[in-house]
Amino acid sequence: MSRTIFDKIWDAHRVTRTPGGLDLILIDRILLHERTGGVALRGLEERGLPVAAPDQAFAVMDHIIDTRPGRTDRTLMPTGTDFILATREAAGKAGIRLFDLDDPQQGIVHVMSPELGIVLPGATLICPDSHTCSQGALGALAWGIGSTEAEHALATSTLRVRRPPRMRIRIDGELAPGVTAKDLALALLGRFGVGGGAGHVVEYAGSAVRALDVEGRLTLCNMATEFAAFTAIIAPDEKVIDFLEGRRFAPTGADWAAAAGHWLSLASDDDARFDVERIFDARDVAPMISWGTSPQQVVAIDGAVPAPGEGQGTTEGQARALDYMGLAPGMRLAELPIDAAFIGSCTNSRIGDLRRAAALLRGRHVAPGVKAICVPGSTQVKRAAEAEGLDEIFRAAGFEWRESGCSICFFAGGESFGPQERVVSSTNRNFESRQGPGTRTHLASPETVAASAIAGHIADPRQVAAR
């Protein structure tokens, strides 16, 4: 029978069907971070249960740690150090490999895992973090779970899950020059809404998806959780194989050749059936910017703020978003003055993101009064950027150059932008107070963030580049 890539991975990992109608799924990789992973490890320890396969679990410090230069275990969040110490101790006791603060391979969990070949095509991977869906970009079945489920998986290397329905989003056509995977992700949210994925495993397919490099695919899959999907997945191709070859935890020798052949066979069969099919044309996408407090509230960069009832979300929700964001219907996004610019997060902090932002910043300076911060997604990205001199470009342009971590993507780390400050951000969530109490976040690509920082207002990167 014809199967989708999801069916093939699911069937290969299904141990049994449980009496409640859930499937018991074998879990190949468990990732943990200090915000939620330490809690899971502690829970297990308190119940006296050992970790079933410590060599298949990996822990990293990313969420709460300080990203300012010269960081230590001290954090800006009052109880942050407790999370760090607890995770370090629990990972040590459980015999789990930990990428600690000062490890050269430390990074945001969804950035360092592909970088090290921890995630592999055809594997099942879980992490108590909603953006685990990013890693489906490599052809793995990777999804976010809660701490209790993480405990179950750590103790048994399995998880009980209801088989999710399948959706394919076929995206054909070429993205216009200057339009990126982030713009595509935002445009999809604008078109189909934050409920668009509705608990499905979303397979992204089509010529526009195949044309993306692996980093672009990671960006696209990253926002599947904003889309309410169970997760996202893209069939692995030669680009994925090239990307993974030689990575620290990737197979080697004869195993590598066998694995690569197997990975290419995972693609959905030509006549495989999906529960839902959606079509999207990549040619229609422009650089996108969010105007509201939900990632579906987006317009093209030359667009205007919609009136309540004309944008995405309920009329009441839109009115509230306008109020929170300090905007009125009809205002042009590309004229709004900004207070800050943030490049970072598991959505857009890889080397390609930093290169493209630096290309705009080279020889230019951020506008007076704009606070600009760049946080590389991993220590490896940071070092690679420094080896190319990108840090010098960011610094000379007036950006702060940070240590890797989640940083101000999420106020949970304790650092924030100010109340009512308008921030253009390469992150994935623009909820109220996401980047600080009262902070107004506009989601965009790293190029748009860099262009806006230079202009001092939200700006089209294509126009800034042409100046």
Ligand X SMILES: CC(C)[C@H](C(=O)O)[C@@H](O)C(=O)O
Residue numbers at the binding site for ligand X (CB under 6 A): 35-36, 63, 129-131, 144, 410
Least separation in angstroms between CB 130 and ligand X = 3
Binding mask of the shown chain, residues 329 to 348, with x at each position contacting ligand SF4 by CB under 6 A: ----------------xx--
Binding mask of the shown chain, residues 75 to 114, with x at each position contacting ligand SF4 by CB under 6 A: ---------------------------------x------
13 binds, among ligand SF4, ligand X, none (CB under 5 to 8 A by kind): none
345 binds, among ligand SF4, ligand X, none (CB under 5 to 8 A by kind): ligand SF4
Q: Is there binding between residue 382 and ligand SF4 (CB under 6 A)?
A: no
Greatest C-alpha distance within the chain: 65
Residues within window 404-423 making contact with ligand SF4, judged by CB under 6 A = 406, 409-410
Residues within window 45-64 making contact with ligand SF4, judged by CB under 6 A = 63
CB-based contacts of 102, cutoff 8 Å, min separation 6: none
Please give the residue whose beta carbon sits closest to ligand X in the complex.
130
Least separation in angstroms between CB 272 and ligand X = 30
Least separation in angstroms between CB 121 and ligand SF4 = 22
Nearer to ligand X, 36 or 416 (CB): 36
Least separation in angstroms between CB 348 and ligand SF4 = 10
Binding mask of the shown chain, residues 128 to 167, with x at each position contacting ligand SF4 by CB under 6 A: -x-x------------------------------------
Which region, judged by CB under 6 A, interacts with ligand SF4, from 234-242, 365-373, 402-410, 443-451?
Answer: 402-410
Nearer to ligand SF4, 297 or 349 (CB): 349
Nearer to ligand SF4, 318 or 404 (CB): 404
35 binds, among ligand X, ligand SF4, none (CB under 5 to 8 A by kind): ligand X
HEC profile of the chain? CCCCHHHHHHHHHEEEECCCCCEEEECCEEEEECCCHHHHHHHHHHCCCCCCCHHHEEEECCCCCCCCCCCCCCCCCCCHHHHHHHHHHHHHHHCCEEECCCCCCCECHHHHHHHHCCCCCCCEEEECCHHHHHHHHHCCEEEECCHHHHHHHHHHCEEEECCCCEEEEEEECCCCCCCCHHHHHHHHHHHHCCCCCCCCEEEEECHHHHHCCHHHHHHHHHCCCCCCCCEEECCCCHHHHHHHCCCCCCCCHHHHHHHHHHHHCCCCCCCCCCCEEEEEEHHHCCCEEECCCCCCCEEECCCECCCCCCCCCCHHHHHHHHHHHCCCCCCEHHHCECCEEEECCCCCCCHHHHHHHHHHHCCCCCCCCCEEEECCCEHHHHHHHHHCCHHHHHHHCCEEECCCCCHHHCHHHCCCCCCCCEEEECCCCCCCCCCCCCCEEEECCHHHHHHHHHHCECCCHHHHHHC
Q: Is there binding between residue 428 and ligand SF4 (CB under 6 A)?
A: yes
Q: Distance from CA of residue 130 to its chain's centroid?
A: 9
108 binds, among ligand SF4, ligand X, none (CB under 5 to 8 A by kind): ligand SF4
Least separation in angstroms between CB 129 and ligand SF4 = 5
Nearer to ligand SF4, 180 or 428 (CB): 428
Nearer to ligand X, 108 or 454 (CB): 108
Q: Is there binding between residue 425 and ligand SF4 (CB under 6 A)?
A: no
Residues in the site for ligand SF4, rule: CB under 6 A? 63, 108, 129, 131, 345-346, 406, 409-410, 428
